[in-house]
Amino acid sequence: MSYDEEDDFLNEEVDDIISQIRNQGKLLKKPEAVAPDLSKEDLEGFIIKNAGKVVNNSLEMMERMKIEVLAGADAKMIESVSELVKATTSAIDSLAKLKISEDKIKAQKEITQMNIDAKVSKEEDDTPKLTFTRNDILKMLDNKEPTTVDV
C-alpha cells in the first residue's frame, strides 16, 4: 500500500464514520411537541401526572449516574448529578406541598361543617327558654285582675 492509497483508505473510513454520525440523528425518533389543551378542572391532574413522571425519570437517572460517579467520574459529572438531585428534591417538595395544601383545605371544610352542625343542633334544642323582657313581665302583671282573698 502506498501512501496515497493509505490516505484514501483513511479518508473513506473517516467519511463513513461522519456519515454514520450524521445519519444517527435521523434514526432517533424525535418526540412530537404537542401543546396540551387544558381547562381549570384538568390542570391539577395534568400537574400531578407530569410531575410524577419527572420525579420517576429523575430518580431512575440518578441511579444510573450514581453508578458512573462511583466508578470515578470527572467534576462535570459530579456537578450534573448534584444538580439532578437538587431538581428532583425540589419536584418532590412541590408535590408534598400540593398534597399538604389539599389536606388542609379538606380539613378546613370538615371543621366548617362540624361548626354548622353544632349550631343547628343548638337551635333544635327543645328545652323551653324564657324569651321575656322585664317590661313584658310587668305588662302581664298589670293586666291581671286583682284577686281578693277572704280571711
Per-residue pLDDT of 5-42, as tens digits, reads 777 777 787 777 777 777 666 655 666 666 667 676 77
- Could you identify the residue written with the cell 470515578? 72
> Number of structural domains, the chain?
1
Confidence of residue 117 (pLDDT cuts 50, 70, 90): confident
Per the structure, the complete domain to which residue 72 belongs is given by 40-121
In a domain, 16, yes or no: no
In terms of Cα–Cα distance, which of 141, 124, 123 is closest to 132?
141
Pair 98, 49: CB distance under 8 Å = no
In a domain, 86, yes or no: yes
**146 or 108: which carries more pLDDT confidence?**
108
Contact residues for 25 (Cβ-Cβ < 8 A; gap 6+): none
Confidence of residue 53 (pLDDT cuts 50, 70, 90): confident
Average pLDDT, stretch 137-141? 82
Mean of the per-residue pLDDT values for the chain?
Answer: 77
In a domain, 139, yes or no: no
In a domain, 75, yes or no: yes
The model's pTM: 0.45
Average pLDDT, stretch 55-62? 82
pLDDT at 70 over 80: no
Residue 60 has phi, psi (to 5 degrees) of -65, -45
Report the Cα–Cα distance between both ends of the chain, in Å, rounded: 157
Pair 65, 74: CB distance under 8 Å = no
